[in-house]
Amino acid sequence: MNYPNGKKNNKITSISKRKKDPDFSNRGMTLEEDINDTNKYYLSRDIAVVHKKPTPVQIVKVDYPKRSAAVIKEGYFKQASTTDYNGLYRGKYIDFEAKETKNKTSFPLSNFHEHQVEHMKSIVAHSGIAFILIRFHCYDQTFFFPATKLFPYWESQSNGGRKSIPYQVIQEQGLEIPIQYPVKIDYLSIIDQLYF
């Protein structure tokens, strides 16, 4: 896929070079896998209906080497995605983003895009529940952080404020979600505490 400028990357990288470069392609996948498992559990028990949003892709070129084996050769992201997940729980619309960081002292705001924050503001303005699930890898901790707590930090960064949310603030203003079984990331228990 060609993203975000639509240009092909013709640079060939050697195997030894690739191993030295950090791999960001699966960043966030561990948390996403845990959330996906949690959502399957919620759905199978008829607790909530929450799904990962697909990213809209425009397919431009497809090769058909065999009738049964189409190969996508070129595609583009149609538009910027909003947040990762949305759904319904107890009659309320929920919408959230899942983020991971290896930082020890703060969560960088550069992990968000303007349109994502604006989207979450719209959800809150229409009485929906918007939040972020933030995982700190170094501490093996996952936090439920309400979007309303994010907004002041987002606004202040453009006025010379911090470009991150301190870990201590996330500990104080968010709620830690312990990993458990069978519900790995039981974020609905936090929603019950805060909103019902």
82 is known to lie in a ligand binding site: yes
CA angle (135, 139, 144) in 5-degree steps: 35
Residue 151 corresponds to which tokens in the numbers above? 């907004």
φ, ψ of residue 101 to 5 degrees: the values are -145, 150
DSSP 2: B
DSSP string for 70-126: EEEEEEEE-S----SEEEEETTEEEEEEEEEE--SSEEEGGGS-HHHHHHHHHHHHT
Distance CA(50)–CA(41), nearest Å, equals 10
116 is known to lie in a ligand binding site: yes
Element (DSSP H or E) covering residue 134: strand 129-136
Known binding positions for Mg(2+):
82, 84, 97, 116
Known binding positions:
82, 84, 97, 116
